[in-house]
């Protein structure tokens, strides 16, 4: 089987924690989240490994305060170097979770990265990494035989000190994500929690199985806050 066939055949979503990560620490401390897009190595004339790398990231949150608190936590981390905010966005608005987003470059130590360890064990990064609540969500392709996945995950755990669980695994044509799933990915954690709970308890049924007051009580928020989260979620999901 060719590498292209293997990549198309086995995809996983990994829930991951690893030590010495500024993004995991900052999102654990605050309500904001981070999308990791790309890493840039500075060329070394002597052929040695660079002492630092720069990455392109998006900070996101429910409001400006959440994103500002997140960026402050990143700046204060002893594992993060210079943070440079971008004045113009790269056009990812529709595909980025959160009501407020701010893009930035950040310099940090490549020894704190888990991506090389994943690659070493056959897991190829296939989408931006989403970091929230002190955990990372990785969408990866596995380039070896599917039967070797568990041994490879054990290798990642041992080599990086990571905690890794498999949230989903798909093979063949089932790897295609539906438009609905892609739109759900644009919701913040809170928006998704509120929307899915409302759907589960019959808020969108006819007649309705619950009221907004009951929903607010279930989630321990005010009715105004509940409606704000629902309207923002519905706007993202229904936008043509």
- pLDDT of 69: 97
Q: Are 12 and 168 within 8 A, CB to CB?
A: yes
Cα–Cα distance measured from residue 46 to residue 19, given in angstroms and rounded to the nearest whole number: 30
Of 38 and 18, the structure prediction assigns the larger pLDDT to 18
The 3-state DSSP class for residue 190 equals: helix
Q: What is the dihedral angle through the alpha carbons of 106, 66, 97, 18, rounded to the nearest 10 degrees?
A: 50
Of 188 and 226, the structure prediction assigns the larger pLDDT to 226
Q: Please check the confidence at residue 54 and state whether its pLDDT lies above 50.
A: yes
Which ranges in 77-141 belong to alpha helices (H)? Answer: 115-120
Fold of 181-238: Arc Repressor Mutant, subunit A (1.10.10)
- Over residues 208-213, the mean pLDDT reads 87
62, with CB counted inside 10 A (0-12, 13-18, 19+), is: buried
Q: Where are the domains of the chain?
A: 3-171, 181-238
- Over residues 3-7, the mean pLDDT reads 44
Q: Cis before residue 207, ω within 30 degrees of 0?
A: yes
Q: Please check the confidence at residue 6 and state whether its pLDDT lies above 60.
A: no
Q: 235 falls in which pLDDT band (50, 70, 90)?
A: confident
- Over residues 78-96, the mean pLDDT reads 74
- pLDDT of 4: 43
- Over residues 99-105, the mean pLDDT reads 91
174, with CB counted inside 10 A (0-12, 13-18, 19+), is: exposed
Q: What is the dihedral angle through the alpha carbons of 79, 165, 30, 35, rounded to the nearest 10 degrees?
A: 70
The 3-state DSSP class for residue 140 equals: strand
CA angle 137, 138, 140 (to 5 degrees): 155
- Over residues 94-110, the mean pLDDT reads 83
- pLDDT of 172: 55
Q: Please check the confidence at residue 57 and state whether its pLDDT lies above 60.
A: yes
**What percent of the chain is predicted at pLDDT more than 70?**
82
Q: 38 falls in which pLDDT band (50, 70, 90)?
A: confident
- pLDDT of 18: 96
Element (H, E) at 203: none
For the chain, the distance separating the N- and C-terminal CA atoms, rounded to the nearest angstrom, is 40
Residue keyed to tokens 């905690």: 163
**Structure token pair of residue 51:** 């002492």
- pLDDT of 237: 78
Residues 6 or more apart whose CB falls under 8 angstroms from that of 23 comprise: 34, 36, 57, 74, 131, 136
**Which range (47-51, 74-78, 200-204) has the least confidence?**
47-51
Q: Which tens digits make up the pLDDT trace of 108-151?
A: 998 899 999 999 999 998 889 999 999 999 999 998 888 899 99
Of 87 and 149, the structure prediction assigns the larger pLDDT to 149
Cα–Cα distance measured from residue 50 to residue 42, given in angstroms and rounded to the nearest whole number: 7
Closest CA to 174 of 8, 4, 1: 8
- pLDDT of 94: 47
Q: 48 falls in which pLDDT band (50, 70, 90)?
A: low
């Amino acid at each position: 089987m060719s590498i292209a066939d293997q990549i198309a055949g086995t995809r996983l979503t990994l829930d991951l924690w690893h030590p010495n990560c500024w993004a995991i620490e900052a999102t654990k401390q605050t309500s904001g989240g981070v999308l990791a897009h790309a890493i840039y190595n500075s060329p070394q004339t002597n052929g040695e490994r660079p002492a630092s790398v720069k990455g392109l990231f998006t900070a996101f949150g429910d409001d400006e305060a959440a994103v500002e608190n997140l960026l402050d936590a990143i700046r204060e981390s002893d594992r993060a170097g210079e943070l440079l905010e971008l004045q113009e966005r790269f056009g990812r608005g529709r595909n980025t979770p959160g009501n407020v987003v701010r893009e930035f470059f950040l310099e940090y130590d490549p020894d704190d990265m888990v991506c090389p360890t994943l690659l070493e064990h056959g897991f190829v990064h296939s989408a931006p990494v989403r970091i929230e609540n002190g955990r990372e969500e990785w969408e990866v392709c596995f380039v070896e035989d599917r039967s070797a996945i568990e041994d490879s995950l054990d290798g990642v755990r041992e080599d990086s000190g990571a905690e890794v669980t498999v949230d989903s695994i798909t093979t063949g044509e089932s790897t295609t994500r539906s438009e609905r799933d892609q739109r759900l990915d644009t919701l913040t954690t809170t928006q998704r929690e509120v929307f899915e709970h409302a759907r589960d308890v019959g808020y969108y049924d006819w007649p309705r199985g619950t009221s907004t007051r009951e929903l607010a009580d279930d989630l321990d928020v005010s009715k105004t806050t509940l409606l704000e989260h629902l309207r923002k979620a519905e706007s993202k999901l229904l936008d043509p």
